[in-house]
């Protein structure tokens, strides 16, 4: 008995060894069943809502807006831009190679997912201690783009891999690559390689050079970071990384790679309009809805921007800012700067909203409300002329001894009895204050209300020295009223809006220009402003030829420095200052702003005006003569129905006409206290 039992036990042990008793055990069976259940559950979870190939997501690109300069050159694009559908077989080989080298070198070898690439990426990430390199193939990226949401979850990644393998089994590699390159986002609203080629280089994808292809391939990692429009230096560095990757992958030999790496700049479409037209384009796009209302159509907006003027304005700004450390601002780390050039009819021909759009998109030409300082004194004199004064009338320039507001002259000098022309040319604060008191603050407010200012100015004496606030655009437009002989204008920048198919939605029509100031008064003021440049505070703005007039402005503690001037047919305003409203290092309107204005306008006066600009015609035979008529389409520079004189009905200060000829030594009694303003 005992032997059989032993024998039995031995046979049992032998049976277990031979037949795998563990795998027949209940424990194993339960584990196997549980594993199958978990696998089925996970598979169901992964596959439950995985889309089929008939559920391709539509390409949800926003309606696009293409902004063009007056000559038709593209200066900016917004929204979703869709180009032509292209086949990789039609693309230059170096374009395809650039994408493969930087995105998926084993594209033609793997099965939709690249296990080697995934392992390599995991190893790099572990060594770097963070997420540095991704392992997604082009096929996976296409699967995500076609079918999935951008959620970063394990479930979504598994679905992406499964779909990628399915795509790889069912489609040719070239078809997968073509679909990817026609849908992937390249930044700046461009979806697909052809759209990107047109947005950044104004050409078809089939015409891309090696360098351009490398730039576009470099965008795929981070379109906004490596955008050649926003950051050309960063885009160039990224393109060199792509070129090196192409060499490493065997797509380029060493000679071609070295030649390509010598490039150090990215020249994008619109470069003929300078680097800063985005300030202008942003401002224009904000006006589109006002002209045509909301729309879902792709739009093309033709504007007034003159690329040659824009480019020259930018070049001269850089030169002046570079030289300011030695001339104006030895302790200054660099102020902001803005410029506006208008035709006499208000057409915006050039606009700079800041020194670097990449640093700040804030538009200091159209958005920044700043104190104009002495640039407002021209309108004090215009109010005086309307009240019956003459440019050669005399006024006392001496310290103000009464009242809480006692502005003094910028340089501390006083000249006694001076003409109104001298007071404006030398930007004398006390003489201007006495002029304003004799004219009356209501007269100044009446003048300001007829000019293109949207901001309300307070009826106080300090307004005459620039205590209010305005934008560079509006101040420049107000001087355009002087330049055109006294006609009301409004700045405009949009010539035409059409759909991408060519349907016209808006076309700018010139208004009938209304005279708001007497031609005689404007001619007198023009004489006075000529002297500001000839022998006054704006001598730094003197040009080599032609008619030049304008006014400097410097607010308290050098917070703002302006020069607004005009020639025979152009009006340009320049501003410098700090965004934090702190003072600059003795930067005055007659310094760097005037030099920038002169350097730019010496060239600008030689350019032909675009045909859409209405000119008002300065008469020959003298700077200040008059012809009958109005704007060019009607006649010459003068042509009013007699001088505009103040009446109770028109301005409410006719009683001051007699007061003007009274004693000019009366001290100013200001109506309010306000800061002191400089030249």
DSSP 135-164: ---HHHHHHHHHH------HHHHHHHHHHH
CA nearest to 674, candidates 384, 312, 404: 404
Q: CA-based angle 266:267:272, to the nearest 5?
A: 155
Task: Give CA–CA dist 18/59, Å, rounded.
Answer: 62
Q: In what order do the strands lie in the sheet with 348-352?
A: 348-352, 336-343, 570-577, 560-566, 549-554
Kindly tell me the burial class for residue 12, based on how many C-beta atoms sit within 10 Å of its own C-beta (0-12, 13-18, 19 or more).
exposed
The three-state (H, E, C) secondary structure of 600-661, written as one string: HHHHHCCCCCCCCCCCCCCCCCCCCCCCCCCCCCCCCCCCCCCCCCCCCCCCCCCCHHHHCC
SS (H, E, C) 39-88: HHHHHHHHHCCCCCCCCCCCCCCCCCEEEECCCCCEEEEECCEECCCCCH
70, 136, 374, 518: which one is catalytic?
374
- Strand, coil or helix: what is 295? coil
Closest to 422 in 3D by CA, of 540, 309, 537: 537
Q: What is the DSSP letter of 456?
A: P
The answer to whether the beta carbons of residues 428 and 422 sit under 8 Å apart is yes
3 state SS of 566: strand
Residues in the chain: 679
Can 103 be counted among the known catalytic residues?
yes
Given 103, 314, 344, 386, the catalytic residue: 103
Contact between 403 and 542 (Cβ < 8 Å): no
φ and ψ at residue 515, rounded to 5 degrees: -75, 130
State the catalytic residues: 103, 374
């Amino acid at each position: 008995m005992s032997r059989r039992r032993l024998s039995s036990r031995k046979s049992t042990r032998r049976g277990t060894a031979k037949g795998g008793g563990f795998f027949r055990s209940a424990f194993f069976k339960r584990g196997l069943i549980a594993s199958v259940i978990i696998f089925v559950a996970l598979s169901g979870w992964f596959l439950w809502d995985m889309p089929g190939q008939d559920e391709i997501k539509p390409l949800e690109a926003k309606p696009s807006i293409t902004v063009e300069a007056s000559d038709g050159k593209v200066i900016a694009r917004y929204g979703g831009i869709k180009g032509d559908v292209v086949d990789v077989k039609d693309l230059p080989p170096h374009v395809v190679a650039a994408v493969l080298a930087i995105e998926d070198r084993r594209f033609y070898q793997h099965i939709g997912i690249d296990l080697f690439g995934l392992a390599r990426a995991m190893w790099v990430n572990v060594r770097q201690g963070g997420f540095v390199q991704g392992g997604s193939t082009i096929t996976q990226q296409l699967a995500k783009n076609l079918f999935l949401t951008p959620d970063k979850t394990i479930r979504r990644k598994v679905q992406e891999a499964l779909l990628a393998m399915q795509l790889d089994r069912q489609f040719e590699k070239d078809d997968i690559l073509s679909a990817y390159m026609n849908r992937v986002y390249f930044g700046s609203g461009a979806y697909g390689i052809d759209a990107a080629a047109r947005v950044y280089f104004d050409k078809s994808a089939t015409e891309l050079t090696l360098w351009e292809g490398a730039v576009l391939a470099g965008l795929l990692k981070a379109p906004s970071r490596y955008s050649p429009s926003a950051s050309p230096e960063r885009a160039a560095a990224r393109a060199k990384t792509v070129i090196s990757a192409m060499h490493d992958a065997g797509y380029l030999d060493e000679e071609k790679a070295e030649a390509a790496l010598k490039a150090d700049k990215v020249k994008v479409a619109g470069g003929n309009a300078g680097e800063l037209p985005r300030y202008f384009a942003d401002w224009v796009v904000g006006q589109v809805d006002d002209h045509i209302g909301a729309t879902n159509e792709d739009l093309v907006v033709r504007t007034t921007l003159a690329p040659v003027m824009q480019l020259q304005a930018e070049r001269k700004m850089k030169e002046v800012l570079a030289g300011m450390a030695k001339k104006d601002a030895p302790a200054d780390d660099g102020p902001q700067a803005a410029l506006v050039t208008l035709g006499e009819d208000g057409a915006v021909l050039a606009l700079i909203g800041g020194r670097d759009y990449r640093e700040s998109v804030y538009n200091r030409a159209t958005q920044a409300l700043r104190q104009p300082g002495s640039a407002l004194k021209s309108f004090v004199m215009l109010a005086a002329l309307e009240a019956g004064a003459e440019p050669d009338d005399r006024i006392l320039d001496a310290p103000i001894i009464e009242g809480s507001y006692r502005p003094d002259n910028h340089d501390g000098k006083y000249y006694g009895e001076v003409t109104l022309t001298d007071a404006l040319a030398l930007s004398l604060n006390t003489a201007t204050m006495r002029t304003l008191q004799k004219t009356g603050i209501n007269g100044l407010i009446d003048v300001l209300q007829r000019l293109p200012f949207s901001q309300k100015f307070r009826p106080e004496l300090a307004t005459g020295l620039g205590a209010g606030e305005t934008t560079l655009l509006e101040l420049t437009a107000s001087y355009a009223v002087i330049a055109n002989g006294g006609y009301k204008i409004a700045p405009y920048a949009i010539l035409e809006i059409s759909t991408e198919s060519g349907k016209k939605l808006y076309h700018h029509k010139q208004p009938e220009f209304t005279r708001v100031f007497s031609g005689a008064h404007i001619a007198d003021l023009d004489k006075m402003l000529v002297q500001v440049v000839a022998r006054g505070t704006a001598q730094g703005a003197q040009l080599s030829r032609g008619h030049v007039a304008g006014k400097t402005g410097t607010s308290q503690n050098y917070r703002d420095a302006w020069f607004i001037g005009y020639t025979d047919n152009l009006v340009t305003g320049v501003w410098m200052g700090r965004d934090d409203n702190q003072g600059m290092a003795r930067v005055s309107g007659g310094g760097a702003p005037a030099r920038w204005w002169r350097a730019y306008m010496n060239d600008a006066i030689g350019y032909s005006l675009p045909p859409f600009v209405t000119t008002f015609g300065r008469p020959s035979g003298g700077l200040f003569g008059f012809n009958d008529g109005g704007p060019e389409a009607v006649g010459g520079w003068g042509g009013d129905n007699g001088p505009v004189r103040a009446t109770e009905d028109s301005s409410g200060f006719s009683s001051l006409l007699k007061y003007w000829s009274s004693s000019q030594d009366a001290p100013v009694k200001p109506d309010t206290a306000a800061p002191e303003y400089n030249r």
